[in-house]
Amino acid sequence: MAYFGLQPLQSTYLTDYFSGNGSTVAFTLSRAPIAAESVLVHISGVKQHASTYGVAGTTLTFSAAPPTGTNNIEVLHLGIAPETVTLPSYRTVTEFTATAGQTTFSPASYTAGYIDVYRNGVKLGADDFTATNGTTVVLDNACTGGDLVRFESFLITSFNNAIPNTAGAVGSSLLASGSALANIGAGGVTQSYIGNNVAGTGPAFSAYPNSDTAINNAWTKINYALELFDTNSLFSSSRFTPNIAGYYQINAVTLMNAVVNQATAIYVNGNQYKRGTYDSGNSSGVSGLVYLNGTTDYAEIYVYVPGSASVAGDNRTWFDGFLVRAA
């Protein structure tokens, strides 16, 4: 069963106890009753008539101070007003004393179709007046001076600030400004509202070459023509240019077609940024964190060989990376 606001729970009636001292007339309740009749009050076991006390918010005030006694004042709440739900007024009444010939009135703002009009106590039919703009009502027949014209407009919503317990969209007006829910938009949850232990959907790619690259005593850019994956289509022309500012893990392994001294390095914006180990073998690699600004910064891989050699142009040579943390 669906509910508006908080789902009702079954429990015992809430009861407040107070100790009278013969002089105190005001006591603070744990909850604010809707009216004096919403609580049953007993003093020393005798039920009190609602006319002998009043409630205002959480204050219960007796017309005469209860006698001295320990917990001799018992207040039984017959119901608890729902919390977190704003209960609006449903009917707004505006009355006018018409002047002779008056046809136009400006009652409290209303919703077209939800307003009744009375003239000298007689309800007018829908054809007897025009009420479409939400601010004025025009009677078809002019009033006689002194006519009492009464307008009753009705609120068409029953609860404010309650999230519907049915499938469908929840408008932003129902969500507190600045709350996490209010920041869920068509583009998803913004990075700042992702939990610290939750991975986002930042860019990730992996690429490899389809042909050998000749190296001859110069740091040489490796061309990665093939992509294993490229989640956000940000890898192009052998360079990774992400569109989110942040810190990226960049990795690369280079396989040479011979055993030679060699090094592989991460380049940012065409400049050497982090170099891997320089050693002899048939492969080398590099791995490191790189900050990229999300607009113009790009990462590439270069390889150095002190002599002439070639990089294997297949998936044994690879270049990949992903967003670790947004800036």
What residues line the site for another protein (CB under 8 A)? 213, 216-223, 238, 261, 263, 270-272, 275, 278, 302, 304, 306
Q: Which two tokens stand for residue 67?
A: 């006698």
What sign for the dihedral angle of Cα 61, 66, 68, 69? negative
Residue placing its CB nearer to another protein in the complex, 248 or 302: 302
Backbone angles phi, psi at 242, to 5 degrees: -70, 155
Residue at 258: amino acid letter: A
- Residue in this structure with the two tokens 């011979």, named with its chain if needed: 258
Residue placing its CB nearer to another protein in the complex, 92 or 220: 220
Residue at 188: amino acid letter: G
| Beta-bridge mates of residue 285 | 253
The nearest distance, CB 291 to another protein, in angstroms, is 20
The nearest distance, CB 213 to another protein, in angstroms, is 7
Residue placing its CB nearer to another protein in the complex, 204 or 311: 311
The nearest distance, CB 322 to another protein, in angstroms, is 24
The nearest distance, CB 221 to another protein, in angstroms, is 4
The nearest distance, CB 202 to another protein, in angstroms, is 27
Do 159 and 82 form a contact (C-beta atoms < 8 A)? no
Residue placing its CB nearer to another protein in the complex, 126 or 218: 218
Residue at 210: amino acid letter: N
The nearest distance, CB 292 to another protein, in angstroms, is 19
Residue placing its CB nearer to another protein in the complex, 134 or 270: 270
Residue placing its CB nearer to another protein in the complex, 149 or 222: 222
- Residue in this structure with the two tokens 């068409």, named with its chain if needed: 156
Residue placing its CB nearer to another protein in the complex, 208 or 302: 302
Apex 32 CA angle, 30 and 35, nearest 5: 135
Q: Which two tokens stand for residue 273?
A: 């940024």
Q: b/e map of 286-306 (b: 16 or more CB within 10 Å)?
A: bebebebebeebbbbbbbbbe
The nearest distance, CB 256 to another protein, in angstroms, is 15
As to burial, measured by CB atoms within 10 angstroms (0-12 exposed, 13-18 middle, 19+ buried), residue 313 is buried
